[in-house]
Amino acid sequence: GDSVTQMEGPVTLSEEAFLTINCTYTATGYPSLFWYVQYPGEGLQLLLKATKADDKGSNKGFEATYRKETTSFHLEKGSVQVSDSAVYFCALSRNSGNTPLVFGKGTRLSVIA
Amino acid sequence: GAVVSQHPSRVICKSGTSVKIECRSLDFQATTMFWYRQFPKQSLMLMATSNEGSKATYEQGVEKDKFLINHASLTLSTLTVTSAHPEDSSFYICSALGPAEAFFGQGTRLTVV
């Protein structure tokens, strides 16, 4: 069945450091790919998404590119801030988001000043 | 963005009692809601799909008599954990399907003692 694998956390970075959180997936066909973020005490929020190969999703300085050849959707940010501290979930969906999501385990990011 | 409210955020109950978790879409109508469960250091796993006005669809391995789901209106779905046991302790999170994406509640941390 479909699955998502993302790098284990926790990840601790200094402010302004470069961030990469790896995510790979297993699915038949062409799923849509998502990154969700969960700030402390809040629900999951959609951070960015991509619906077809080579699409790049971007938001709030975060980027991820849908790589069909490597079945990957790695999350990157050039310069993290303390306010980026949260748990990040990679996910896929068979359609554009109107079907249940398959999630990775989540990666906790802590950014220190 | 759209808001989904989940209540309570934390609950501690005695073994053998039942606990009800509510999931409300505050500013849109949701025909479909999803219930997920997350064990420590594991992915969010889909438990069931809740459709307004009809019976929920449960994933394989999820006991429908133990996890009662009611989706009586377009803005409210409830999950009742009946006769709770310590192994039911977990993080439960709901998701309401909006026009273009899924929106998540804050999650409920259930501890059964």
The nearest CA of chain A is from the CA of B73 a distance in Å of 19
Does the pLDDT of residue A76 top 90, yes or no? yes
Does the pLDDT of residue A97 top 60, yes or no? no
Does the pLDDT of residue B2 top 70, yes or no? no
Peptide bond into B86 cis (omega under 30): no
* Mean pLDDT of all residues in A79-93: 95
Q: What is the pLDDT of residues A15-55, one digit of tens each?
A: 999 999 999 999 988 899 999 998 887 778 899 999 999 99
Question: Confidence class of residue A66 from pLDDT cuts 50, 70 and 90?
Answer: very high
Q: Which residue in the set B45, B101, B105 is minimally distant from A46, CB to CB? A: B101
Residue B42 forms contact with A (CB below 8 Å): yes
Nearest CA in chain B to A88: B43
pLDDT of residue A69: 94
pLDDT of residue A98: 61
Do A43 and B36 count as a contact with CB atoms less than 8 A apart? Answer: no
